[in-house]
């Protein structure tokens, strides 16, 4: 039911439009009937992050992290550049670009930023989730991680592979609060590699602050 009413409605139009241009037949049941039965599985991570396992599909290919983030298409505005130039350590908070239920996450993050000698950037396109922000916090709907994370002290995120990859690339620690899907596995791998810590989604500001 979820596939019929949600996944197919979102994915089928663009996917089948592309297939039509390539002279291919349309597909249905995108997730269960098509995505898991391909001739090749591209794994968006390197071997040091997750080595191939015996039970993986035989035609799996590790192609590295998905690092494209529209860098160069979003110049940093003057207010942001002045904010980044301030001396406090920068912590970037991002619960995921599609996450529309993060009011508690940002409320706790704002309280942590009030308590700790840091400056914070909150990333979300759902601005109504944000609480009143202290003076050491800036909100943006989107920023290319490759332009900001090299200047950050840490990234707090949901465990998406793209966010984790950009933090690895920048060489900064990660605090991961996984919610669903592959995020729990990604979070455990970040921690096992010694590159960050894992915190339960919904943890209060005291635990948040202690980890940071």
Q: What is the pLDDT of residues 168-194, one digit of tens each?
A: 999 999 999 999 889 999 999 999 999
Q: What is the helix (H) or strand (E) element at residue 41, kind and residue range? A: strand 41-43
When pLDDT is averaged across residues 124-147 and rounded to a whole number, the result is 95
pTM: 0.86
Task: Look up residue 154 and give its two tokens.
Answer: 């840490």
pLDDT at 31 exceeding the cut of 80: no
Q: Give domain limits for the chain.
A: 2-62, 78-211
Residues 6+ apart with CB under 8 A from 192: none
Q: Which residue has the higher pLDDT, 118 or 57?
A: 118
pLDDT, position 180: 87
Residue 46 CA to residue 63 CA, distance in Å, equals: 6
pLDDT score recorded for residue 5: 66
What interhelical angle do 183-192 and 161-170 show, nearest 10? Answer: 20
Residue 60: what pLDDT?
A: 87
Query: What is the average pLDDT score of the chain?
Result: 91
Q: What is the CATH number of domain 78-211?
A: 3.40.50.2000
Distance CA 156, CA 176 (A): 6
What CA–CA distance (Å, rounded) separates 95 from 160?
Answer: 9
CB 3, CB 31: distance < 8 Å: yes
Q: pLDDT at residue 1 above 60? A: no
Percent of the chain with pLDDT over 70: 96
Please report, to the nearest 10 degrees, the dihedral formed by the alpha carbons of residues 12, 17, 21, 25 taken in order: 40
Kindly indicate the confidence band of residue 147, based on its pLDDT and cuts at 50, 70 and 90.
Answer: very high
């Amino acid at each position: 039911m979820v596939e019929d009413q949600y996944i197919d409605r979102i994915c089928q139009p663009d996917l089948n439009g592309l297939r039509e241009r390539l002279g291919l037949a349309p597909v249905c049941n995108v997730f269960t009937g098509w995505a898991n039965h391909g001739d090749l599985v591209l794994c968006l991570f390197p071997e040091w992050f997750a080595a191939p396992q015996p039970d993986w599909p035989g035609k799996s290919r590790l192609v590295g992290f998905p690092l494209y983030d529209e860098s160069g298409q979003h110049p940093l505005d003057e207010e942001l550049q002045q904010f980044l130039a301030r001396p406090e350590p920068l912590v970037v908070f991002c619960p995921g670009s599609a996450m529309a239920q993060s009011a508690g996450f940002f409320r706790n993050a704002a309280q942590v930023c009030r308590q700790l000698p840091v400056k914070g950037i909150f990333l979300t396109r759902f601005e109504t989730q944000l609480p009143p922000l202290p003076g050491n916090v800036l909100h943006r709907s989107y920023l290319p991680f490759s332009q900001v994370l090299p200047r950050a002290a840490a990234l707090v995120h949901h465990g998406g592979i793209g966010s984790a990859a950009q933090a690895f690339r920048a060489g900064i620690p990660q605090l991961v609060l996984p919610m669903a899907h592959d995020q729990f596995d990604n979070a455990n791998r970040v921690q096992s590699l010694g590159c960050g810590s894992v915190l339960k989604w919904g943890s209060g500001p005291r635990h948040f602050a202690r980890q940071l």
